[in-house]
Amino acid sequence: MPMSPYYRKLREKIGTTRIFSPSVVGIVRNPKGEVLCVKDRESQIWGLPAGAMELGETPAQAIVREMLEETGLSVRPKKLLGVFGGERFRWTYPDGNQVEYVIVAFDCEVLGGVLKPQDGEIEAFNYFSVDALPPLPLPYPKSLFSSSEPSLVRYESE
């Protein structure tokens, strides 16, 4: 889904100034342990299914909504994998809007659905082995993608 009405109204008032963006990301694995990545239609960059939280949403509700919107998959967040933020999680969109993400990462179980573009934002999907992940736009620690039952990831900035 494109920018929500909340963020659109905010951007009308503040322009492209950097804002905090509470967001979620979902890690989905196939039976081989490969990680689902999505290719953004506009930027042509591979990333993870993710998005901003909406007002009134819990992080778990947000990842369920975002996964359905971006991938067509119905998921259940199984485990909290980590929370990420800081300078290394800043992003500038092609339209100049700047954000500093605070990202809640979940390990997700697929309950159903069909993997197909839903909202025009995503162009393609692919499962990648952890060792062959494409360059991701944000510096997630490699331990986030472990196929074993990970405990909460601790992330220390370098």
User: Active-site residue numbers?
Assistant: 123
Compute CA distances 80 → 14, 25, 120, whole Å. 33, 10, 28
User: How many Cβ atoms are within 10 Å of 114's Cβ, its own excluded?
Assistant: 9
Provide the pairing of β-strand 73-84 with 50-52: unpaired
Cβ contacts of 100 within 8 Å, gap of 6 or more: 18, 19, 20, 21, 85, 86, 87, 89, 90
Sign of CA dihedral 128, 133, 137, 141: positive
